[in-house]
Amino acid sequence: QISMALNPGSGGMSGTASIDLASFELSDSLTDVVFEITDLDEAPEAIVQIAPVYPSKLKKAGVQGRVWILFLVDENGLTSKQRVTESPHDELAESALKAIRQWKFKPGKKDGKAVKTRVQIPLAFSVKT
């Protein structure tokens, strides 16, 4: 079972997990503005969510956990600059990245205009018992 959540309140971060968001390159130029979810009038909304493939050998071995992914949602609702910030296993991280690259969003809005937004979400991989 794989669960996915979009947490617009805190960028998806909770608990003791930490990431240096300042090191996350957001733009290619000084005029390329990226907003935080908390600064928007409307948060991005996922409209196409491709579930990651749970690698069978990891599932059989009972490897589970959350993969945290940081990425941008652009003005067209496409994701870019996807990066894993935390993962229990490299293969789970790769599977989660492949899925997020296919997601589509209704873009976030600021003052009625679609804008680039930084988003962080967890994708949870768990074995049902």
Give 54-72 pLDDT, tens digit per residue: 999 999 999 999 999 999 9
User: Is-contact 44 112, C-beta < 8 A?
Assistant: no
* Two structure tokens written together for 35: 């907003």
pTM of the model: 0.76
Q: Between 24 and 54, name the one with better pLDDT.
A: 54
User: Is-contact 11 85, C-beta < 8 A?
Assistant: no
Residue 103: predicted pLDDT: 97
123, pLDDT greater than 90: yes
Mean pLDDT of 89-109: 97
Residue 32: predicted pLDDT: 74
In whole angstroms, give the CA distance from residue 48 to residue 104: 5
* Two structure tokens written together for 94: 């790769």
> Which string of DSSP letters, residue by residue, matches 53-91?
P--HHHHHHT--EEEEEEEEE-TTSBEEEEEEEE-S-HH
* Two structure tokens written together for 92: 């789970």
Mean pLDDT of 41-55: 96
Q: Between 7 and 73, name the one with better pLDDT.
A: 73
**Average pLDDT value for the chain:** 83
User: Is-contact 68 18, C-beta < 8 A?
Assistant: no
28, pLDDT greater than 70: no
**Rounded to 5 degrees, what angle do the CA atoms 32, 33, 37 make?**
145
The count of residues in the chain is: 129
